[in-house]
């Protein structure tokens, strides 16, 4: 809208946003994945571009309709990746000269230790298949270790905790463990948070304080996140 176009308060900022969900291959035809559609991360990238930022959007397996707002948009460099390792390389490289990095992607915590060259067949497994999983690199932790002066690093956390106080406690522990400037927390569940166009976030600041509680369209939530980033800088 005209109103959105007038707000150019992110002009001159270089930002990196990751979105979507990584997939870790098991064999040539199968993977371990997650339910992220990419919708919230893409909305964060699009909001930044609309507000004047120069955006690198690193996206893993987003739904086509979720990605649409970022495709062909001036000010957004779209980088497509598949695995956690690929996402890590793409984000880390672009973070070097970024003012803000937002890790909205759902990154696999584990990958298959040895990817099979050929499709795993039932006649070879005898009906039981054991996959050995090894931890992936914590990309966000690496970004925080390499953070330069004046750089703002934002993490996301999707939690299934349903008790509000316990959710906040868990989120605060996570923010401290991660060392991020802002942590955007949302409650998810079988029926909640993934395919929806709406979202609800609690944003924690560097002192573990609640900076904002927002709900609405993923675009409205994205704008509130950028407001929180600006306030924190
Ligand atoms: N993240 C990351 N690299 C990973 C895993 C997560 O950069 N290998 C980032 C996510 O993009 C997100 C933040 O870390 O911004 C928090 O992710 P989350 O899965 O909530 O945290 P974890 O430390 O993986 O803890 P959990 O055991 O709760 O999954
Ligand atoms: Ca995780």
Which pLDDT score, from 0 to 100, does residue 125 have?
A: 83
Q: Are strands 133-135 and 110-112 parallel, antiparallel or unpaired?
A: antiparallel
Half-sphere exposure of 43 (CA within 13 A, CB side): 20
Express each pLDDT in 55-102 by its tens digit: 999 999 999 999 999 999 999 999 999 999 999 999 999 999 999 999
Residue among 55, 86, 87 nearest 71 (CA): 55
Mutate to test the pocket of ligand 1, among 109, 133, 176 (most ligand atoms within 8 A of CB): 109
User: 143: closest CA among 134, 151, 133?
Assistant: 151
CA distance 177 to 117: 37
Query: Could you tell me the pTM of the whole model?
Result: 0.96
Per-residue confidence (pLDDT) for residue 4, from 0 to 100: 52
Q: Is the ipTM of this complex over 0.95?
A: yes
pLDDT digits (tens, 9 = 90+) for 24-50: 999 999 999 999 999 999 999 999 999
Phi-psi label, residue 61: left if phi above 0, alpha if psi -120 to 50, beta otherwise: left
> Does residue 186 have an active-site annotation?
no
Does the annotation place 174 within a ligand binding site?
yes
Nearest to 38 by CA among 78, 7, 93, 4: 78
Distance (Å, whole) CA 229 – CA 137 = 26
The bound ligand whose nearest atom lies closest to the alpha carbon of 110 is 1
């Amino acid at each position: 809208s005209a109103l959105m176009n007038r707000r150019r308060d992110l002009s001159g900022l270089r930002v990196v946003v990751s979105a979507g969900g990584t997939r870790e291959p098991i064999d040539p035809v199968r993977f371990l994945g997650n339910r992220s559609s990419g919708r919230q991360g893409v909305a964060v990238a699009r909001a930044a571009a609309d507000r004047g930022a120069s955006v690198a959007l690193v996206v893993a397996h987003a739904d086509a309709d979720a990605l649409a707002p970022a495709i062909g948009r001036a000010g957004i460099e779209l980088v497509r990746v598949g695995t956690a390792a690929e996402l890590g390389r793409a984000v880390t490289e672009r973070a070097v000269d970024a003012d803000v990095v937002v890790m909205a992607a759902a990154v696999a915590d584990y990958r298959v230790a040895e990817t099979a060259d050929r499709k795993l067949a039932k006649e070879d497994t005898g009906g039981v298949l054991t996959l050995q999983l090894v931890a992936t690199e914590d990309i966000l932790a690496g970004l925080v270790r390499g953070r330069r002066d004046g750089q703002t690093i934002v993490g996301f956390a999707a939690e299934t905790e349903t008790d509000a106080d316990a959710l906040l406690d868990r989120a605060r522990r996570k923010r401290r463990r991660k060392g991020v400037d802002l942590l955007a927390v949302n409650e998810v569940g079988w029926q909640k948070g993934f395919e929806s166009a709406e979202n609800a976030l609690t944003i924690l600041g560097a002192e573990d304080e609640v900076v904002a509680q927002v709900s609405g369209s993923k675009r409205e939530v994205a704008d509130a996140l950028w407001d929180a980033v600006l306030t924190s800088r």
